[in-house]
Structure 1
Amino acid sequence: MKIALMDSGNGLLAAAAAVHRLRPDADLVLSSDPDGMPWGPRTTEGIIERALACARAAAAHQPQALIVACNTASVHALEAIRAELEPGLPVIGTVPAIKPAASGGGPIAVWATPATTGSPYQRGLIRDFASGVEVTEVPCPGLADAVQRADADAVEIAVKAAAAATPRGVRAVVLGCTHYELVAERIRAALQDPAAPPLELYGSADAVAAQALRRVGVPPVPDAEPSGSLTVLFSGREGELDAPSLTYPEGRSLLPVGASRP
């Protein structure tokens, strides 16, 4: 079994690690786009162009499913990717976990990139899945870029700024960018009130990993032999996990996958 994941950068690591936890025997293909990132400031047409190129590079390795592990690409390019690759290749998009977060009541906050915050897409999710729940949209300028570079100081600055814009007393925070899941505990530490119940953080990695297995038609086997291979693509060029990716536990968890590659 082979599962491919794509993103502009290393935001795909959280979902890749989730797939690896569920199926340590799965071959993984990680397709990112350092030549074209960041995708967020691009026009919709530009995002579609770069995302399609990233998806095609992954599809060339003949996976059984492709996870679009990027909120920006899922908003703007998912339809185009599916139109080109399905039904032959199941394509799983990433949706901010507003529905499960809101199911427990409010107040909640949605941390997202400035381009996504306040967008019709995100407002639509809030309208459809969080009606009657107090929701605050929090833009996080610079956070995804800082995570991509594994710049700890820049991450701290961006997290503190977003935390200051988050109302006190929120019960849960939706991580509306896949990069944010790599620094989830830093976000929790910045927001947690010692006198309050534990803050709940809602990412998408586990859900998209489980959905990918469902689309392939295989069950989770977390105790399977870790025998999968790892292919890493940078704008279509094969390489190895880079140093910033390996600063995160999610990236390091994939090293046994690569070690088993023939």
Structure 2
Amino acid sequence: MNIGVFDSGFGGLTVLRALLEQLPAANYTYLGDTARLPYGAKSQATVARYAVSSARFLVEEGAEYLVIACNTASALALDAIRDAVRVPVLGVIETGANAAFATTKSKDVLVIATAATVESHAYSGACAERGLRAYEKACPLLVPLVEEGWIDHPVTEEVLRIYLAELLTASAERNLDPDTLVLGCTHYPLLRANIERAVPASIRVIDSADVTAAQVASAIPHLKVEMWSTQNSGIQGSRLFYATDSVTKFCRLGAKFLGQRIDQVTLVDLGG
């Protein structure tokens, strides 16, 4: 099976990284729409248009299952994508909400994400559908810090401390008793260890990349069988990478998110 993974940029490579660990036998096609990011500054109609064109490209390239590894596109364009293609589509917001539902005992959940994702209230809506209360907080400085490579930098540690202290204070003011924190941006898994150190031990941190990969594995059980049959032989599926802007930057920065070298990226023009 060919699994297509789509993001507006590099963060979705954390989802691909988790997929490669759980389902190495699958073939993967990744598209980063780097020419048109950031999606968070665009209208819903524009995000939907961009995301649909990207999804169609992946299907034309052979994808039989799509993972929308972009929180903004998952929040604003998931229905439009599902209407536009005839393959199963999974978004990272629903996987995060599913994992929160399976994890929380208090039914109170915290979410940190980009401003666009928080403003969409997609996580709070998805959590409410599952009987959970969610409080969302935008953490806009984290994405540029991650892309700068400042994972363990003192500045990043201080920014996280401030954001998380504000998050916990605001949730207490709303009489919430949170025991779960969802990382609502695909850049944030790179900061998971930092975040876990900064929150109380009673709060479990949910990595959207890991839970998305796990839910893909559950949705395509025959791939799990293939994984067990091939993991000892070293057999792997193909990995193709596409970007709509600078492939040199994609190789350099993308390697930080994927955790391995990216030697070849194909430039593709999807229009404006």
Q: TM-score, normalised by structure 1?
A: 0.80
The whole-number CA distance in structure 2 between the counterparts of 1:99 and 1:213 is: 14
Q: Deviations over 1:207-230 (max 9, x none)?
A: 332443454452412525342222
Q: Does 1:206 align with 2:210?
A: yes
Q: Given the superposition, is the C-alpha separation of residues 85 and 108 from structure 1 closer, same or farther in structure 2, using an over 3 Å criterion?
A: closer
The whole-number CA distance in structure 2 between the counterparts of 1:110 and 1:100 is: 12
Q: Does 1:229 align with 2:238?
A: yes
Following TM superposition, by how much is the alpha carbon of 1:73 offset from its aligned partner in structure 2, in angstroms?
Answer: 0.5
Q: Give the 3-state SS of the residue equivalent to 2:205 in structure 1.
A: strand
User: Could you tell me which residue of structure 2 aligns to residue 84 of structure 1?
Assistant: 84
Q: Given the superposition, is the C-alpha separation of residues 158 and 49 from structure 1 closer, same or farther in structure 2, using an over 3 Å criterion?
A: farther
User: Could you tell me which residue of structure 1 aligns to residue 138 of structure 2?
Assistant: 139
User: Could you tell me which residue of structure 1 aligns to residue 130 of structure 2?
Assistant: 129
Return the letter of the residue paired with 1:51. A
Return the letter of the residue paired with 1:93. G
Name whichever structure is richer in helix by fraction: 2
Which stretches in structure 1 are left out of the alignment for 5+ residues? none
Q: Deviations over 1:161-208 (max 9, x none)?
A: 3122121785321111222122211211222x4xx44x4111232333
Identity value in percent:
26
**Which is worse superposed, 168-177 or 149-158?**
149-158
**Which is worse superposed, 12-21 or 169-178?**
169-178
Return the letter of the residue paired with 2:237. G
Q: In the comparison of the two structures, how many residue pairs are matched?
A: 247
- Which one of the candidate residues 174, 181, 187 is aligned to 1:173? 181
Q: Given the superposition, is the C-alpha separation of residues 237 and 78 from structure 1 closer, same or farther in structure 2, using an over 3 Å criterion?
A: farther
Q: Give the 3-state SS of the residue equivalent to 1:9 in structure 2.
A: coil
Give the conservation status (yes or no) of the 8 Å contact 1:19–1:209.
yes
**Which is worse superposed, 77-86 or 199-208?**
199-208
Q: TM-score, normalised by structure 2?
A: 0.77
The whole-number CA distance in structure 2 between the counterparts of 1:25 and 1:242 is: 23
Following TM superposition, by how much is the alpha carbon of 1:244 offset from its aligned partner in structure 2, in angstroms?
Answer: 2.2
User: Could you tell me which residue of structure 2 aligns to residue 189 of structure 1?
Assistant: 197
**Which is worse superposed, 46-55 or 212-221?**
212-221
Following TM superposition, by how much is the alpha carbon of 1:31 offset from its aligned partner in structure 2, in angstroms?
Answer: 0.5
Q: Given the superposition, is the C-alpha separation of residues 52 and 171 from structure 1 closer, same or farther in structure 2, using an over 3 Å criterion?
A: same
Q: Deviations over 1:86-113 (max 9, x none)?
A: 1xx2221122524543532155421121
Q: Give the 3-state SS of the residue equivalent to 1:77 in structure 2.
A: helix
